Structure 1
């Protein structure tokens, strides 16, 4: 494009009624769209001074996006302000996906544009309220959902302060923003496997939360978990059901006391609290003010309805019970059934409807800790398989989550006694071969060792009465371990045999070379007394010691690998016996390789002469590099034998 914007502006001045809404690209974009795309701020300002505000609404591309959508998605805050001042109704327009300009700013993580548009998305009145219409898309996702999905956590933190209602809002899949946050382990330190250097940098990072622009009426906001009225949506169904049955018995008790009561209370007064949770979902929440219920009749209306009642008291109570409670009960059952159907149609990860269950499964110990501290009843949350956060953590090898629960609850707590739908305890689930465990490695034998350590850790942490419990199939935890690890045991035996055979050949070769070099003394012996001629030379002493060390360690390594080959390969052998032998064999093999190289270098020092000894040192170092590289590549295997990843 030639970008002759001066000519474009002149054309708009002369024929603004004709060309203002003209589509000039394949995507049906106008000149104003292109100017915004090219960040031509001055050009945009001049065009807005020329174009009729009513015409801007008609300037949409093939995605039904007006210029404000484009400016918000590109983060052009000043252009957003100019467009809103020109036509305030632009902020409420939606594109083909049902996204408002405010939603576009959150979707692309443009904080400045979001801050510029936010003040224009409020309803002014006695108290400032936020218009939630701008915050949702057609598929049910909110600005908080997309901010977390895009990992714009600074913007998400700000959205929580400005739009606290969105914390409990679910999209069409039944997922809250907390679900999406639990799906992203990289957002938490416990979900990241950092090296020493990266961990040091992480600990040095400073996050200044004071930069969040908190409105004054949010500063004194009580905790969202301070009472049952503001309980998270995942627990609201349980509270509704408990509240319903509470008032059913209240009505029955009221009926028994009517004969002694001087006045009969109004039926609307009885039903006031029962509809509390249902009605609060259909009103606008005012932060810092008391929640007022819709449909609450005045005292005069209550009096009239009582006086007009022509039914006997028992009939009246029965009628009220049927209409108010039975109908609400069936609606509640219908809602639970719909949630069940929706959850069955989702991916297995999302059958865990509660965020704390997703976090426990993913090992996000920070989220699990905060949820349990703010809402302790979440420890009893269950997924469709009746697995609690402890059972999911045990099944998926999340050691930090299990350790957190062990610190929070004593061993006498009922959380440890929970069974899933198959009758499995936490020990049974720890005994299964977890495909989602974080320590998946290629070595089957070491995988077997780590699974055994995890099984023993869970078994020693749980109450002793769980050890003898059999699951629904009548199997103990050890029987489950043997059954689920049958394949990996075979792979582990095969890997140990092949590794031991290969290392045995190398150890035998080093032993033979070390023996031959020790028998052949450099420089020869004195014919008169048989004493080596070079005795006393430092290089000769190094040669003798290194040769002897190579011989001893290579023979030790050979015996260790032979003992592995002749093992019975019982399950308990994979815990300590076989790993210890393999560790000793590999360690002594590496030492023997190093000793053989030292012996080789010391023996050749006599042949290069005194003048070339300084020049020969770099040559020997280069020769040792290939073997040293092999040792370093296998060093990770040694570490895995010593320390498990949990």
Structure 2
């Protein structure tokens, strides 16, 4: 057997030619030294094909694949990777196609970490390659009853490819409760993906666009199984979205975002239906608790409500500090999660008066300083104080605490408005004075005067108007909590209703 070091020295010109993308030099060397085709060119056992694939040279890979047999394509290097494993790392779909067309068995060969090429591509985040390999890989490779490939692929796809994740769970429901190599479940990974849900980080304009219309969801079944009305509505909806994508710039991203929201919601529903199949009650509670409190910290209200719909008892779950979900929502300043307490009925009294491991109640949680990530979402110290007061914050200031709810913001709005009015009138006065003095000497002086006078006024309006709107909404708007309004007259007998109107 030849010494690898001696072979790597002897075939160094081939290594340089392949790695540098020199096709002609590669062909010339291989014509003169045919034995170098499948020989190791490095101390790691890389062949010419491994080097070309990792370097991403499609033309050289095509040349080498044409010279190599299907069996030789499956050769592994020192760390157990085939050329297709390397292609999955590099992410060049065209190279993967060349290899798979020559030998489909490469799709089933794992590396030393027991990861098949599809899983490797998903872990590296190569969307196009993942889609191609998912269609080509035998579906049996993803069966959770025999291998762990499906669980790793599912958790990886939740980060980027929801439609593949959804298809996986629908094909193999057991994947919903399977753990990957990091002991993470699909439910926990989904709880770490707030951007997949519409309640997170959406401005009102984009939210209204996403909420309008309907789009085609995968797995709705073939069109001929739907009723006539549904088919008509589907056609109208399809035409509506296609028209918007063509006519409105950037609308494709909004369409894809809406599709992601729908797929994430359906994936969550599928997982929640499957979780009860866990026979170990301790493990079931651990899976739910870990995902639930992560979703509360992220503020994903859709996730929490879906969990509560399937498992109402989760409101009595406590974290390692003996805090329920409403305590954590208060500490993390997640008002949408906290607002769910108003729908708890009589249970809210018990939930709200609980004490944690450090003998803190819910008011103490509100008194702690909010996380910086939540404070930074509000402009200015005054509005931050106002928001904290809505969480029962007591702050040291020359104003009374309740002044920050309306008095200080109102004064700030008046001050900004007066400042804008003062600046505008000052510039108008200055412009008129210059015009009167210079109009007889310079006939065209009016245009530059108007332009220069408008500049500071425009800049001030652009910089301060968003703050003025935010202050107004925060002060006189509906507030941060979605608390239901109480009826003046409780529903009951006619006598009580009559008494209310007297």
The answer to whether the superposition gives a TM-score over 0.5 is yes
Distance 1:586 1:227 in 2: 55
Describe how 1:499-518 pairs up with structure 2 within 5 A: none
C-alpha deviation, 1:130, in angstroms: 6.3
Q: Gaps spanning 5+ residues in structure 2: where? A: 1-16, 223-268, 481-502
| Partner of residue 349, structure 1 | none
Distance 2:425 2:62 in 1: 78
| Partner of residue 158, structure 2 | 148
Per-residue Cα deviation, 1:147-186 (whole angstroms, up to 9, x for no partner) = 234x233333333334433322334654323222222323
| Partner of residue 426, structure 2 | 596
2:39 to 9, 12, 22: 22
Per-residue Cα deviation, 1:217-237 (whole angstroms, up to 9, x for no partner) = xxxxx9665588515x9x831
Matched, 1:189 2:198: yes
C-alpha deviation, 1:393, in angstroms: 1.5
C-alpha deviation, 1:591, in angstroms: 1.6
C-alpha deviation, 1:384, in angstroms: 0.5
Distance 1:175 1:129 in 2: 14
| Partner of residue 451, structure 2 | 621
**SS in structure 2 opposite 1:643?**
helix
**8 A Cα contact 1:391 1:426, kept in partner:** yes
Alpha-carbon distance change, 132 to 365 in structure 1, aligned in 2, over 3 angstroms: same
Q: Gaps spanning 5+ residues in structure 1: where? A: 137-141, 215-221, 241-335, 340-351, 456-480, 494-567
Describe how 1:186-585 pairs up with structure 2 within 5 A: 186-194=195-203, 196=205, 198-199=206-207, 202=210, 208-210=216-218, 225=272, 229-231=276-278, 236-237=281-282, 353-406=289-342, 408-413=343-348, 414-436=350-372, 438-440=374-376, 441=378, 443-455=380-392, 481-482=393-394, 485=395, 489=396, 493=397, 568-585=398-415
Matched, 1:33 2:50: yes
C-alpha deviation, 1:628, in angstroms: 3.5
Alpha-carbon distance change, 169 to 239 in structure 1, aligned in 2, over 3 angstroms: closer
Distance 1:238 1:373 in 2: 20
C-alpha deviation, 1:55, in angstroms: 3.7
Distance 1:82 1:161 in 2: 28
C-alpha deviation, 1:373, in angstroms: 2.0
Matched, 1:132 2:147: yes
C-alpha deviation, 1:195, in angstroms: 6.8
**8 A Cα contact 2:177 2:271, kept in partner:** no
| Partner of residue 133, structure 2 | 114
Distance 1:634 1:133 in 2: 55
2:97 to 66, 74, 78: 78
**In angstroms, what is the RMSD of aligned CA positions?**
4.1
| Partner of residue 633, structure 1 | 463
Alpha-carbon distance change, 30 to 627 in structure 1, aligned in 2, over 3 angstroms: same
**SS in structure 2 opposite 1:606?**
helix
**8 A Cα contact 2:144 2:150, kept in partner:** no
**SS in structure 2 opposite 1:569?**
coil
TM-score by length of 2: 0.67
Alpha-carbon distance change, 28 to 191 in structure 1, aligned in 2, over 3 angstroms: farther
**8 A Cα contact 1:121 1:130, kept in partner:** no
Distance 1:44 1:405 in 2: 61
Alpha-carbon distance change, 449 to 118 in structure 1, aligned in 2, over 3 angstroms: same
C-alpha deviation, 1:64, in angstroms: 3.2
**8 A Cα contact 1:68 1:83, kept in partner:** no
Q: Which has the larger radius of gyration?
A: 1
**8 A Cα contact 1:24 1:31, kept in partner:** yes
C-alpha deviation, 1:69, in angstroms: 0.8
C-alpha deviation, 1:4, in angstroms: 6.0
C-alpha deviation, 1:357, in angstroms: 1.4
**SS in structure 1 opposite 2:399?**
coil
Alpha-carbon distance change, 201 to 5 in structure 1, aligned in 2, over 3 angstroms: farther
**SS in structure 2 opposite 1:103?**
helix
| Partner of residue 58, structure 1 | 75
C-alpha deviation, 1:615, in angstroms: 4.5
Distance 1:443 1:93 in 2: 54
Distance 1:224 1:634 in 2: 46
**8 A Cα contact 1:121 1:134, kept in partner:** no
**8 A Cα contact 1:608 1:616, kept in partner:** no
